[in-house]
Amino acid sequence: MATRDIILFGAPGAGKGTQAKRIVAHLGIPQISTGDILRAAVRAGSALGLKAKPFMDLGRLVPDDIIIGVVEERIREPDCQLGCLFDGFPRTLAQGEALDDMLGRAGRNVIVIGLEVAEEELTRRLSGRWTCPQCQRTYSDPGTCTVDGARLEQREDDKPETVKKRLQAYREQTAPLKDFYQKRGRYRAVDGLGSEDEVWRRVRKVIEG
């Protein structure tokens, strides 16, 4: 069976989290989160984990070479042999080039699914997002959680002034990856507007094609 390595690409608020769950369930591949594997490397006391720990303890960005190293270690594990879904990686052009190189050396190729949503809609979604502090479910209006009754809160990341900064950072740091993958013929644009089921049908058509 061919390896299925996928990057789900899109700005904050594009719906990546929701579609990621459906992709890994449909294909039976693991979701690789750089945050999770960095924390696991620190807990395990690996060489790369020890290098990453001082940066994480100070809340600073972990350097690319360390992140790339832990990703390369992770994709060698048995559960990734049929592929994986990259979550939060790559974030920069340098990381994209490194991932291309490491997958190429392993005889693997990645497909990039880009959830495309207009910035006005992203701002509306993010600014109107409320989160349960207990179960982390998200809602589009203030009130209480329908699961545990906790009062919903708006995270700092979802306040209008912060949303503008998040989208600007995305444009400057991560959006250039779109051009990188388009030039290599690996970028597949998917309309991110509509219901979760509607978007999933579009995503599924790409991964099954």
At residue 2, the pLDDT reads 60
Mean pLDDT in the chain? 89
* Per-residue model confidence as pLDDT tens digits over 149-181: 999 998 777 788 888 888 888 888 777 899 999
In eight-state DSSP terms, residue 49 is H
What is the four-CA torsion angle of 41, 42, 45, 50, rounded to 10 degrees?
110
Mean pLDDT along residues 175-188? 92
- Positive or negative, the CA dihedral 187, 190, 196, 198 is negative
Q: Which of 119, 120, 140 is nearest to 131 (CA)?
A: 140
Task: Out of 22, 39, 166, 186, pick the active-site residue.
Answer: 166
Q: What residues pair up with 37 in beta bridges, in sequence order?
A: none
> Is-catalytic flag, 188?
no
Task: Out of 53, 124, 155, 164, pick the active-site residue.
Answer: 155
Domains of the chain (ranges, CATH numbers): 4-29+82-204 (3.40.50.300)
Task: Out of 39, 51, 53, 91, pick the active-site residue.
Answer: 91
- Positive or negative, the CA dihedral 31, 34, 147, 192 is negative
Instruction: Provide the whole-model pTM.
Output: 0.79
Does pLDDT of 1 surpass 60? no
Both tokens of 177, joined, read 């990856």
> Is-catalytic flag, 166?
yes
At residue 185, the pLDDT reads 93
> Is-catalytic flag, 91?
yes
Does pLDDT of 45 surpass 80? yes
Q: Give the HSE-up count for residue 167: Cα atoms under 13 Å, Cβ half-sphere.
A: 20
Task: Out of 4, 74, 125, 129, pick the active-site residue.
Answer: 129
CB atoms within 10 A of CB 173: 12
